[in-house]
Every structure is written in structure tokens, then in C-alpha cells.
Structure 1
């Protein structure tokens, strides 16, 4: 599921930013499995979406300039199959139900 993959990636990026542990773009790219240039584009996109992200040259890390709270979920019927709260992702995939008739 691409949505799940992208949201897990975002949850990891969010965690790194919160901990001020992204490193420079090239290192962030390695941590998330993309190039440094792609990491810069991801950060730019997150800024365009309204996240207050800046870069500290002395700490060599991205950080939030204001409090950011992340809430994202996907619910199907009564089942919450993907939930991200504050950067922590939890996934609950339902077990298949098989109807057996004789």
C-alpha cells in the first residue's frame, strides 16, 4: 500500500526532525533511502504544506520552529487500518475472514 509506505516514511522523517537528528540533506537522504537532492525536495514540499521546518547550520539538522502535532489515520468502516499520532505509526491489518459453507 503506497499510502502506508509514504506515511511510515513521513513518520520517520517527523521523528528525525523532532529529535534534530536529520543531519545534512545527504545524510537525511541516506536515512530515508533517497538522494540528498530528493531529501531537499521532500523538506521543501513539507514546508509548502505548512510545516515550520528550518535548518540549523551549526547542528547540521532540520528542526521545527513551532510545535507540530501529527494526526493522520485511515478508517474503513469501524476499523482503523493506519494511524499516525505525533510521528508514531501503528498499523492494524485485519485478518481475513473466511466463510465456509457445507
Structure 2
């Protein structure tokens, strides 16, 4: 579990540096993160597989996002509006539950 947490932290840090357009070259990014250059390439590939629009900008010498994007990894609590709450079934429709309770 600690390895997964560490990988998530690296992804979040890469995301932050990409937003700042200050990752530097892959070797510099690896040194900044305290990982190998291969790990940097692997993490960038993982982000691309997750549909992150990333490319390397030779002019800026930094990875950049080619489109506005957001990256969130974790659990976030949010209020549900009444329509969304009503549509949640948890595997069993509310009408079916009422019928079962009246059985």
C-alpha cells in the first residue's frame, strides 16, 4: 500500500510541475522527484493512459498539457442534489425496496 501511495504522490507532483510548466528535462524531473528517469517515463505514460493531454515542449524544455485539464486522485466528499440522490439505487431501485418492505 505504501508503494501505491508513493506513486500517487509522484503523479500529483508531476501534475503540479506540468501546470507550472517547470518540469525541466526528464533527467532534471527525475532528480527533482528522487526517482529514476525510467520511472519518470513510466509515470508520464501512465498519465497518458489516463487520458492526460501531455507532450514535451522543446522550447520550454518542460512537459506541458496541450488542453486544460484537471487531475484528482483520492476520495472527495460532495453534496448530491435531490435528483441525483433520487437516482441512486445502490443495486436495488427505491420502488423495489418499498415493495420488499411491504411484503
Residues 8-43 of structure 1 show CA distances to partners (whole Å, capped at 9, x for unaligned) of: 221111100000110011011111111223212221
* CA RMSD across the alignment: 1.9
Q: Distance in 2 between matches of 1:45 and 1:3?
A: 13
Contact 1:26 1:37 in 2 (8 A): no
Q: 1:4 Cα deviation (Å)?
A: 2.7
1:39 equivalent in alignment to 2:43: no
Q: 1:5 Cα deviation (Å)?
A: 2.2
Which residue in the other structure is 1:14 paired with? 15
Q: Distance in 2 between matches of 1:40 and 1:6?
A: 13
Aligned length, in residue pairs: 76
Which residue in the other structure is 2:62 paired with? 61
Which residue in the other structure is 1:70 paired with? 71
Higher share of residues assigned helix: 2
Q: Which runs of 5+ in 2 are unaligned?
A: 78-103
Instruction: Look at both structures and tell me which one has the larger radius of gyration over its CA atoms.
Output: 2
Higher share of residues assigned strand: 1
Q: Which runs of 5+ in 1 are unaligned?
A: 79-102
